[in-house]
Structure 1
Amino acid sequence: MDQVLSSVRNSCRLLKIFLDSPKEIGVTELSKMLEMSKGAVHKLLSTLESEGFIRQNEKTKQYTLGYTLLELGTKVLKNHDIVDFSMPYLNRLVSRTNELVVLCVKDARDAIYVAKVDSPHPIRFTVESFRRFPLYSTTAARVLLAYQAAEFQEDILEEATLKMYTPHSYTSIESIKDDLLVIKARGYEISSNRRNNGVTGIAAPIFDASGQVTASISVIGPSDRVLPQQEDILHETLATVQEMSAHLGYRT
């Protein structure tokens, strides 16, 4: 900690207060929350304001975040590569579940597996990377569709061509709609035998800073291995997507 500048750290602490606080905050309240004198807080605010990180409302004399932070945030998002960002999480989830883990993203009207880490088991289920498929067709894809606008869902499902991959495949659009409501209500999807006999997928959404879902993670494996440890795999999957969403700036 010898390399840490206390003034910079206090500035960072001050900025982070706005993540879970009202839009505008006064010096007195900031002083209490930071446990610093009003004079010290005012100096921090003046410095941050001079660089555009903080701005003061001339009418209320209270402070809010400045536009420089918006510029920096936009730059981060532009430079952000979801695959590079996700790989440590995918690897960790595989190490904890010992099953295939895939990262699925929405691309226009389709879903794509953009990254995967295979199961270490000799007998395992696997998928093809960068494969494009309908948003209603797999566990990870349905999670993405469940969090889209109702109009978009209707549009996608109107064009759906249901195929009987297994005896458990969807036979009606209404049953897909019902499942989408369940997925969004509980925050995850567990599906067996829909597309491949003897295969179970457990998937959950990743939220970005704006609260949108454009990616999901799914753990997939033989049902006779996945179902007995379903609760543990679900717990690990939810913990992973929650951590990823938080790092992307999502706040519940």
Structure 2
Amino acid sequence: MLGLLDLFTPTAPAWPTEDLIRVSGTSRSTCYRYIKALQAAGLLTPVAGGAWMLGPRIIELDRTMRLCDPVSAGGIPPMRRLAAESGHTGLLCLLFSGTVMCVADAPAPGAPAGLFSRGQRRPLFTGAASKVILAHLPPHQLRAIFARHRATIEAAGLGGDWESFRHALRAIREAGHGITQSEFMPGVLGIAAPLFNAEGGVLGSIGIAAKIEEVPPEARQALARQVVEAAAEACARIAEQEQSAALPARAVG
């Protein structure tokens, strides 16, 4: 039932009932039940022509996510400050189901069209925002990822064998940040640093995206230090959010 929500995209925002039945792989009566349940929950809403679109409950859930998610609540202020001080687009990203999702962005004036923005997902192997997360995953997860995606990893320049892959990720960890250019979008430079929870598990990344010509090579390390500083602040704020969330209700406030 929840898989029906995945059908709604910017290129296909409305789906007639008959099309939902056709692609659902279920019987007509079962799909009708699914649609009615999603409508009752506010996740789907009817529109003209017997079609359906995503419902207003999703907007409410999005607001709750912005206010309560530790990565959003802890990372957005440093991300916005990083964007303002650097003059480049700020990005806050989260590890999500084998991909990287942008949870917040602060576009710079004149930023290239089509930059990573809230709600978009990208693969783990392309771009600084993704690679710094990948580099800090536990070894057993990395082994499984390498076994499943060896060809993609090699095409991304991260090594064609396990030792080369490990070496590439170790270099990112030792640097404390990642810098890429023209990997996901031509002409775009990305710089990102990882975000961790209180136990040291990687959650996501914070960084900037800029036109390559606006950041000469000699200026990139200074910009990387700004990104790392923003990440440190975000991690501290995330840890505070997690501690508050873990307290019993009577102890809050």
Deviation at 1:193, TM superposition (A): 2.5
Distance 1:210 1:240, change over 3 A: same
Deviation at 1:92, TM superposition (A): 0.6
- 1:124, 1:235 → 2: CA distance? 26
In the TM superposition, what whole-angstrom CA distance separates every residue of 1:94-116 from its partner, at most 9, and x where no partner exists? 11111111111111322111111
Distance 1:123 1:171, change over 3 A: closer
Given the alignment, which residue of 76, 88, 106 partners 2:95? 106
- 1:156, 1:134 → 2: CA distance? 12
Gaps of 5+ in 1: 1-78
Name the residue aligned to 1:136.
125
TM value normalised by structure 1: 0.59
Which secondary structure does the structure 1 equivalent of 2:215 belong to?
A: helix
Name the residue aligned to 1:186.
175
TM value normalised by structure 2: 0.59
Name the residue aligned to 1:214.
203
Q: Which amino acid aligns with 2:231?
A: V
Q: Which amino acid aligns with 2:97?
A: A
Kindly report which structure 2 residues correspond to 1:86-97, keeping only aligned pairs within 5 A, or say none.
Answer: 86-97=75-86
Aligned-pair Cα RMSD in Å: 2.7
Distance 1:133 1:123, change over 3 A: closer
Higher helix share: 2
Does the Cα contact within 8 Å between 1:93 and 1:237 map onto a contact in 2?
yes
Which aligned segments of 4 or more residues in structure 1 are displaced greater than 6 angstroms? none
The answer to whether structure 1 residue 170 and structure 2 residue 157 are counterparts is yes
Distance 1:164 1:225, change over 3 A: farther
Name the residue aligned to 1:50.
none
- 1:220, 1:172 → 2: CA distance? 24
* Aligned positions, number: 170
Name the residue aligned to 1:126.
115
Distance 1:224 1:105, change over 3 A: same
Given the alignment, which residue of 228, 242, 245 partners 2:232? 242
Deviation at 1:164, TM superposition (A): 10
Between structure 1 and structure 2, the one with the greater Rg is 1
- 1:221, 1:124 → 2: CA distance? 11
Q: Which amino acid aligns with 2:175?
A: R
